[in-house]
Amino acid sequence: MSFPSICVFDSAEVAVRELAGEISELIRSRAAQGRMAVLGLATGNTPLPLYQELVRLHRHHGLSFANVVSFNLDEYMGLAREHPQSYWAFMHRHLFDHIDMPESHIHLPSGILPEADIAAHCAEYEARIRDAGGLDFQVLGIGGTGHIGFNEPGSPKDSRTRRVLLDELTRRDASTAFGGIDQVPTQAITMGCGTILEARRIVLLAWGPRKAAIVHTALRGPLTEQVSASFLQEHPNTSFFLDRDAASSLECLPSATPCRSVTTPPRRACVPG
């Protein structure tokens, strides 16, 4: 069997409805069993429509997050929680402030740590994920360097949560939000590739033409530490949820078999990669 599956949607909005449906089924089925659902969450512009949809499901369709535990992929080093560009602030602004998830269930690496405590903090993050039973569902975006989390080129497949140096391209991509590249942190703490690949289900999201080339490289290029998203090729339960533009460099799209373009309804086509 070949994986991951590639799911091409008419738009990001249609894709996130599908994804939010899958996540809410997980949460509800776990709640019915009196169990927690463990989500791995991502930042960046890409998952924003997903978070809007989850908030909508909470407000208007009674989806409770009381039995959800979350672990974010990463955090910038040197940013306090209160910094508007911290991922802690981002996640609260776009998701946590609008749902009923207890604050004690929310986990992000800390960006403010004395040098001597960094290794122990990273090891504890790993232990917390393990103690929660591992990640049920990991949501990912993809960076310009092909990174997942902040696993920049050179990140080993078995890497764990650790401090990393940010690639120049990653810092340039973030420079507008920070008001200049000089303001962008040079380091971050990220879950490792190994940590991410242990998730039982992974969905990578990508929208727009800017992502087309790197999505192609991740799916069709060699497995390499230079593109950490390429490691997903070996994960048995990963899907790439793409809009048409992000899928536009994949050779079998938009119309040739076995890939199918998508209309609504049905809402999606999932095909083996």
CB of 30 to ligand GLP, least distance (A): 25
Considering beta carbons, is residue 65 or 87 the nearer one to ligand GLP? 87
How many CB atoms sit inside 10 A of residue 72's CB?
A: 23
Rounded to whole angstroms, the Cα distance separating 258 from 84 reads 45
Query: The tokens of 261 are what?
Result: 């373009």
Q: Are 234 and 170 in contact (CB under 8 A)?
A: no
Task: Find the shortest distance in angstroms from Cβ 167 to ligand GLP.
Answer: 9
Between residues 148 and 250, which has the closer beta carbon with respect to ligand GLP? Answer: 148
Shortest distance (Å) from residue 197 CB to ligand GLP:
15
Least Å from the CB of residue 76 to ligand GLP: 9
For the CB of residue 205, give the shortest distance to ligand GLP in the complex, in Å.
Answer: 8
In the complex with ligand GLP, the residue whose CB is nearer, 59 or 210, is 210
Instruction: Give the separation between CA 263 and CA 240, rounded to whole angstroms.
Output: 17
Contacts of 259 (CB under 8 A, 6+ apart): 6, 8, 250, 252, 253, 269, 271
Closest CB to ligand GLP among 188 and 259?
A: 188
Decide whether 67 or 151 has the Cβ nearer to ligand GLP: 151
Shortest approach of ligand GLP to residue 246 CB, angstroms?
11
Question: 10 Å Cβ neighbour count for 87?
Answer: 24
Q: Which is nearer to ligand GLP, 102 or 209 (CB)?
A: 209
- Output the smallest distance, CB 18 to ligand GLP, in A: 18
**Cβ distance to ligand GLP smaller for residue 63 or 87:** 87
Tell me which residues touch ligand GLP (CB under 6 A). Answer: 42-46, 73-74, 141-143, 149-150, 170
